[in-house]
Chain A
Amino acid sequence: MTTFLRVSDLTVKAKDNFILDGISFELEKGKVLGLIGESGAGKSTLALAAIGYLKPGLEISSGSVVLDDNDLTIASDSALRQLRQSKVAYVAQSAAASFNPFFRLGYQVTELVILSGFIEKSDRYKVATDLFARLQLPSPKVFARKYPHQASGGQLQRAMIAMALLNDPDLIVFDEPTTALDVTTQLDVLSVIRQVVAEQGCAALYVSHDLAVVSQMCDSILVLRHGKMVEMNATRSIIDQPQDSYTRSLVAHRKVGDFLTDTPQADDAPLISAENITLGYGKVQIVPNASIALNENEILAIVGESGSGKTTVARAIAGLLEPWSGTIKLRGTTLQGNVDNRSQNHRQHIQFIHQLPDVALNPRQTIRTALMRPLQVFKGLDGAALNTRLNALMDEVELPRDLLGRYPGALSGGQKQRVCIARCLAAEPDLLICDEVTAALDPLVEDSILALLWRLKEEHRMAIIFITHNLGVTRRFAHSVTIMEHGKIVESGPTAQIFADPQQAYTCRLLASEPSTDAGWINARELSGATGPRKHRHDSL
Chain B
Amino acid sequence: MITRKNIGVLTSLIILAILGFCAIAAPLVSPFSPQEIVANPFQEPNGEFLLGADSIGRDLLSRTIYALRYTLGISLAVTLIACLFGTTLAITAALKGGWIDIILGRTVDAIMAIPQIIFALIALAAAGVSLWSLIAIMTVLEATLFYRILRASAGDIAAMDYIEISRLRGDSLSWNVFHEILPNLAPTLIAEFGMRFAFASLFISSLSFLGVGIQPPSADLGALVRENVLAISIGRFSPLAPAICIAVIAVSTNSVVDWFIRKYSIRGELS
Using CB atoms and an 8 Å cutoff, list the residues of chain A in contact with chain B: 318-320, 339-340, 342, 344, 347, 351-352, 354, 356, 359-365, 369, 373-374, 377-378, 423
Contacts and interface: CB of A to CB of B under 8 A. Distances in A.
Nearest to B268: A363
Counting contact residues on chain B (CB < 8 A from A), the size range is 10 to 19
Contact of A347 (B160, B169, B186): B169
B263 interface: no
B78 to A, nearest CB: 28
A356 B164 CA distance: 13
A352 B168 contact: yes
B129 to A, nearest CB: 43
Contact of B169 (A354, A356, A360, A373): A373
B184 A362 contact: yes
Interface string B157-170: 00011101101111
B101 interface: no
Contacts of B167: 320, 339-340
Q: DSSP majority for the B interface?
A: helix
Contacts of B186: 364
Contacts of B161: 354, 356, 359-360
A243 B168 CA distance: 48
Nearest to B183: A364
A347 B179 CA distance: 20
Given A352-B168, A377-B169, A377-B170, 19 more contacts: A320-B167, A340-B167, A344-B170, A352-B164, A359-B160, A359-B161, A360-B162, A361-B162, A362-B160, A362-B162, A362-B180, A362-B183, A363-B269, A364-B183, A364-B269, A365-B183, A373-B169, A373-B171, A377-B171
B267 to A, nearest CB: 10
A347 B170 contact: yes
Contacts of B171: 373, 377
Interface string B177-203: 001100110100000000000000000
A424 to B, nearest CB: 9
A363 B169 contact: no
A365 B183 CA distance: 8
Cβ-closest 3 pairs across A and B: A364-B183, A360-B161, A354-B161
A369 B168 CA distance: 16
A362 B184 CA distance: 8
A319 B170 contact: no
B257 to A, nearest CB: 21
Contact of A352 (B165, B179, B269): B165
Nearest to B185: A364
A322 to B, nearest CB: 13
A365 B163 CA distance: 12
Interface in B17-43: none
Contacts of B184: 362-364
Contacts of A347: 168-170
A367 B162 CA distance: 13
5 contacts: A344-B170, A347-B168, A351-B168, A352-B164, A354-B165
Given A347-B170, A363-B184, A364-B184, A320 B164 contact: yes
A114 B205 CA distance: 60
Nearest to A339: B168
Nearest to B159: A359
A308 B81 CA distance: 49
B168 A320 contact: yes
B214 to A, nearest CB: 40
A339 B269 CA distance: 31
Contacts of A373: 169, 171
B185 to A, nearest CB: 9
Given A364-B184, A365-B179, A354 B168 contact: no
Nearest to A357: B161
Interface string B240-271: 00000000000000000000000000000100
Contacts of A344: 170
A408 to B, nearest CB: 9
